[in-house]
Amino acid sequence: MDFKELQDVPMDVKFPAQEEAILAYWDEIDAFQTSLKMSKEEGRPEFTFYDGPPFATGMPHYGHILAGTIKDCVTRYAHMTGYHVERKWGWDTHGLPVEYEIDQKLGIKSRQDVLDMTVKKYNDECRSVVMRYAGEWKRVVRRLARWIDMENDYKTLDPTFMETVWWVCKQMFDKDLVYRGYKVMPYSTACATPLSNFEAGQNYKDVSDPECVVAFPVKDMEPPTSFLAWTTTPWTLPSNLALCVNPAMEYSTIQDKKTEAIYIVATARIIQVFKKPTEYTVMKTCLGSELVGLKYEPLFPYFVATKGDAAYRVLSDAYVTDTGGTGVVHQAPAFGEDDYRVCLAHGVIEKGESVPCPVDDDGRFTDEVPDFVKQHVKEADKAILADIKARGRLIKSGAIKHSYPFCWRSDTPLIYKAVPSWFVKVESIKEKLVKNNEATHWVPDFVKEKRFHNWLVGARDWAISRNRFWGTPLPIWRSDDWEEIICVGSIDELEQLSGVRVTDLHKDSVDHITIPSKQGRGDLKRVDEVFDCWFESGSMPYAQCHYPFENKERFEKGFPADFIAEGLDQTRGWFYTLTVIGTALFDSSPFKHVIVNGLVLASDGKKMSKRLKNYPDPELVINAHGADALRMYLINSPVVRAEELRFREEGVKDVVRDVFLPWYNAYRFLVQVVKQYEEENGEKIVCSMAFQKSENTMDQWVQAAAAGLLAFVKKEMEAYRLYTVVPRLLRFIEDLTNWYVKMNRKRLKGTLGRADAKQSIAVLFKVLMELTRAMAPLTPMLCEMIYLNLRTLLPESERMASVHFTRIPEPNEEALDARMEEKVRRMQVLIEKGRNARDKRGVSLRIPIKKITVICPNPEVLSDLDSLRAYILEELNIRELEVTKEEGGLVVRSAAPDNTILGKRLGKAFREVSQAIKGLTNEQLIQYETEGKLEVAGQELSGDDLKVSRAFNGDTTHIQAETYEDCLAMLDFEMTDELRKEGLAREVVARVQALRKKGGLQVADMVEIWYECAEGALSAAITDLMSTIAATTKVDLLPLAQKPAAATVLVEGDEEIAGAKLKLVLTPAELRCDPEACKAITDDVDALIQAVQGLELKSAVKALDRAGALPVTVGGKEVLLTHNTHVFLSTAALQKKA
């Protein structure tokens, strides 16, 4: 692809195939590494980027593709604006995703199964699968054109990475930020480990669970009375130790009229037990505080012997509400955070003691609960309810649909369970977290200011340990009595303390190592747990470069990172762990700027599911439409504003149709006109990126628009607002293709002269190249394809091997012209309105219409439109334009109040004023526009208080009126024979051009055009307006009957125009001689004609264009044929002379 000369651009383009060619070219020149080498050698400042590590145990999906695209766009932009940007890939290789897969593969059901097979063998199995899909990831990332170093990647299983994680932990430990505690935690029974609160919040589902109301008889109360408690977790009832009421709420003692049983429930929650007031009698009421201390009969006997004295009584706490349940909450302190807190506060349990927790690591009842031993808690609900019912304690049961947390890895229901864990004291640094967050810049900002801020404000201590095997072991050694605890921060320190040198830090490599006690407490042993993998990913800024053991100076120079990006779910994941660790270590957020993307959903709004197959395979979409189209679709969607995107493959296809093809066609057209110019003028085009001074309005405008675009892109990209950049880029593509190119086709093709053609080519090249370079970070392969060809028009010294080695152009101050942009915008609006009017009347643009009149009180608008008169007439195919501020009774105004402004200001008076506004006359509204104020119903209105609109007040028989801004445009559609005839001629031209395209003919291909149609209006239009037709087709149309039988048919078509049949046939143009004229220069006319017919057409045309004559050898003698005297370029030209 290292072109030296401008290459022809095919009409049909397959973007995916072009992308594959670009990728191969990048491989050939090692483009990414070359760009890094160049920026390093230039001494550019560093732009630091951190990439969060994905798991390689699954295939990349649209969420990964989206985040990767955002990261690639920003880092490419940073490189192209003067930075050195290292981009290092990472892999998350530890934790539940890997272990869960191995558990499924090996049929592991419990922790003991792992110990039985040995931790080493288990970890070896984990190690064998962690990089399973790495090859697929590399293929997809490369195909998406993402530039990132996947060869020199980091892996969380690398000893260097793990050693830094140890160092991070030791820093926190030494700052007294790490402790061991006994807390109720979200717990995955499938994975046999506690989870952090933010992990528990990742996977909520709507599920149906049992609900029940259970009776707890009060001891020694007459008549017999029971508290009623409601729960959706019957499996926790065997561990019940107390009941809790709200001390400030009212409770009622009620009697069931049917059974005469007496119950105590919150007054506001009687509805939970009885549907109608007629079903019960209220005996008395009291506050919850009056119930505290009452003892009740235990539901199950399992813990009576050990807890009977302190337990089985009524407690109180404000967390109990009257929004659900019975207002009486059963307390199982091992299985609820509030239960644990309340029971601890009331002395039911004591801190540090073993709380009754008859559930093992795998979620099964232990022999402490013999009636349900070995049953999984969620499966035991039915048996427990049956037992309670048999003993007459089940008052009511049913099912409830509610949102419940599931394990994010195993997709099984979580429980809450009291477990010993290691924690980071997040609550003690909460104020620092909030302060450091304030110093960061988030896009969109509401994520920072609301979601993330609120999460930090409510942050709780972070459980960083997991009772698992495949992970970085906690570097904590302790004595048997837990009185001596040390934290090890490196491999060297471990060797110094233990005398053992290790090369791997996994559990099976360090668990056997002991450290002699310095306090005479025997040997210290490592604690059993490993780190939560979120702790590892939160440590990646330091661990990826083995800080502080290596790269110390470079890391500290680039910290905090300039940029990171991930999905909205990471506000409680990676963004959070990064912030906690960065604050704990350096009292700093580890990033300055972050882009947060939303969730990519299936087209039906549901979560994408492999099982449901409700989304198209990303690779199939890429192969069908191209990766650039997918990238553009994603970043030009609400998802880059942290909103949801319903993915539609049609949307990717629309990008190709509506963006890439018009852009490609503008590029193709430029190449065509350059080649045409060079062929016709024998002059090589050499272009420049400098501002092109021009008297042409559209040249000035398009350069101003390009400069404005570049200024906007610079401003918005520096603020990381991709969602504003892309629409502006697309708008410029629209301006370039549908306005500049379309309105300058004649100039570009040379119809208006050589100088004008060269000028317009230079302008089109400049703005197209600016667009290509500005878009390169977003659509890197399409831009590369265009650049590699167009760069051949630059001086050789300015050509780069890749568009990505160039800089994004700075906005040209000389080109910036806001007034010019506004002037052309006004013209564009009028033309769009004119097209709308034609659509409403059903009149094709090919049919000329009589007149357009624009009435506007703003003289600047009228002046702008008048100065662009020629473009308006051409684009709307209108004979006459009139601009005036004189309304002549043709405009009538109406007004509506600005409800927001006036409603707030006028209060109760707004209704009266609003009614009065509806009755304002045209004259009053003219006064309002002229003077800027008007009194209505005793209130003075001014400024934006009123929204004034205009309407046409005249005969609409031939007039189609369009109102916009302060203007009224009136199009006169009265039709004449002359206008109809010209419309038919334009239709003929359009059919000829379409036939050329169908035949794959290039601009420079010369043809003869033969036609056949019956006598009538169409035939008359062709005959009468032949010169008009030929101005575009470059040759007169000839009757089909005159076509030589031997002529080669290139393409033909049968058309219908205004009900008349038209046959068109295109044959190659041939040099034709006038035999009579040739007799004057040769005796052997037949030999001369034969010699002329043997000449190559294009060479002959060049000779005729250059010298006006064509030398031909006849009978050994050179004869000079004069153009349009002896020799002609077509049969039509010869006939015209005749």
Pairing status of strand 1109-1114 against strand 1117-1122: antiparallel
- The C-alpha atoms of residue 926 and residue 911 are separated, in whole angstroms, by 23
Six-digit token string for 181: 């505690």
Task: Mark whether 92 is an active-site residue.
Answer: yes
Tokens (6 digits) for 189: 């029974």
Q: Which of 607, 693, 840, 1117 is catalytic?
A: 607
**SS3 breakdown of the chain: % helix, strand, coil, rounded to 5?**
45, 20, 35
Task: Tell me the C-alpha to C-alpha distance, in Å, between residue 798 and each of 160, 333, 764, 792, 794.
Answer: 44, 74, 18, 10, 6
**Interstrand relation of 262-266 and 242-245 (parallel, antiparallel or unpaired):** unpaired
Strand partners, 443: 595
* Cα–Cα dist 853/366, whole Å: 90
The beta strand positions in 353-412, using DSSP E, are 394-405
With beta carbons less than 8 A apart as the criterion, state whether 373 and 367 touch.
Answer: yes
User: DSSP states of 705-769 as a string?
Assistant: HHHHHHHHHHHHHHTT-HHHHHHHHHHHHHHIIIIIIHHTHHHHHTTT-HHHHHHHHHHHHHHHH
53 in active site: yes
User: Measured between alpha carbons, how far is 157 from 540 in angstroms, rounded to an integer?
Assistant: 12
Determine which one of 18, 26, 53, 507 is catalytic: 53
What is the DSSP secondary-structure string of 559-572? Answer: -SEEEEEEEGGGGT
DSSP H helices, 776-893, are 780-790, 818-841, 859-867, 869-876
Q: Is 663 a catalytic residue?
A: no
Residue 309 bears catalytic tag: no
- Is the backbone peptide bond immediately before 444 cis, with ω within 30 degrees of 0? yes
Exposure string over 396-411, b if 16+ CB within 10 A, otherwise e: eeeeeeeeebbbbbbe
Side chain identity at residue 445, one-letter code: D
CB count within 10 Å of CB 574 equals: 22
Copy the structure tokens of residue 501: 């040198």
SS3 for 466?
Answer: strand
CB atoms within 10 A of CB 884: 11
Active site residue 360: no
Q: In the annotation, is 202 catalytic?
A: no
Q: Name 354's bridge partners.
A: none
Give whole-number Cα distances, 212 to 25, 381, 395, in Å: 68, 10, 8
Residues 6+ apart with CB under 8 A from 830: 854, 865, 872, 967, 969
Beta strands 967-972 and 959-964 are: antiparallel
Q: State how far the Cα of 1123 lies from the Cα of 1111, in Å rounded to an integer.
A: 11
Q: Known catalytic residue: 1075?
A: no
Name the active-site residue from 272, 375, 570, 759: 570
Q: Which residues contact 598 (CB under 8 A, 6 or more apart)?
A: 567, 568, 638, 639, 640, 641, 642, 643, 644, 645
Strand order in the sheet with 313-316: 313-316, 242-245, 329-331
Report the C-alpha gap between 416 and 373 in whole angstroms. Answer: 19
Which three-class secondary structure state does DSSP give residue 1051?
strand
Contacts for 1083 with CB less than 8 Å, ≥ 6 apart: none
Annotated catalytic residue within 89, 147, 574, 663: 574
Distance CA 439, CA 591 (A): 10
The gap between the terminal CA atoms of the chain, to the nearest Å, is 51
**Active-site residue, from 91, 167, 422, 534:** 534
Q: Which residues pair with 416 in a beta bridge?
A: 186
- One-letter amino acid identity for 471? G
Residues belonging to the chain: 1138
The pair of three-digit structure tokens given for residue 786, joined into one six-digit string: 């265009």
Q: Which of 610, 715, 1063, 1098 is catalytic?
A: 610
Q: Rounded CA gap, 888 and 116, in Å?
A: 99
Q: Which residues are catalytic?
A: 53, 92, 534, 570, 574, 607, 610
